Structure 1
Amino acid sequence: MPAERIYPILLLLGSNLFMTFAWYGHLKYKSTPLVMAIMVSWGIAFFEYCLMVPANRLGSAVYSAPQLKGMQEVITLLVFAGFSAWYLGEPLKWNHWAGFALIAVAAWLIFLD
């Protein structure tokens, strides 16, 4: 696979790691004041944007916007699945995997001509 097709995927992966921590990392610290959780999440989200914007900019040279969004959704689900089990200690159940699989099929359909 050529580099111009791989770089956007790697950047999307990195951005999703940051965003998952920004959105869900605070759930492990429920005693932290909500305002503090919001501020920390915004700080983490800055780094997500530093990767997401170039991912979409570079990716738009080889992928359509719907394809980039479909990839991003699948990457988000994969990152979240690992994060949920590893960081939050909440492994996904069969119905979660089934729902995610349906979303992955939808993303696959986006790539069909």
Structure 2
Amino acid sequence: MSALPVSLQTFGLLALSNVFMTFAWYAHLRDLSAKPWWVAALVSWGIALAEYMLQVPANRIGYAGGYSLAQLKISQEVITLAVFVPFSIYYMGQPFKWDYVWAGLCLMGAVYFIFRS
């Protein structure tokens, strides 16, 4: 049985870590808005710990597997937007904006430039 490809390990873990981080950063605006800020901060730190348990190995696997630091960072930004948009619309109830599409296209340009040979 062979291991998963480095790309799948790296970007899969980064996607999962982004789900946790998006909740850590923004879910308290909806779920803990009536609580003091320090309660939201403690809950967010707890969620962020899970995020780091995925993000750190993702970057280590990717870097050891041949991805550059810049490629990892730009990929992280694309994944962040891909996670944030559905979170914003479906969890936080924000309306869809075409600006999400334009921002995504700009990030795809960044991916092109950072991954080209």
Q: Could you tell me the TM-score, scaled by structure 1's length?
A: 0.93
Equivalent of 1:50, from 53, 65, 68?
53
Match of 2:66 in 1: 62
Match of 1:81 in 2: 85
Render the CA deviation track for 1:24-56: whole Å, top value 9, x for unaligned.
111113212111000000000000000000000
TM-score, scaled to structure 2: 0.90
- What is the aligned-residue identity percentage? 47
User: What stretches of structure 2 of length at least 5 have no aligned partner?
Assistant: none
- Alignment partner, residue 13 of structure 1: 15
One-letter amino acid of the structure 2 residue matched with residue 90 of structure 1: Q
- Gapped regions of structure 1 (runs ≥ 5): none
Runs of 4+ in 1 over 3 A off after TM superposition: none
CA RMSD across the alignment = 1.2
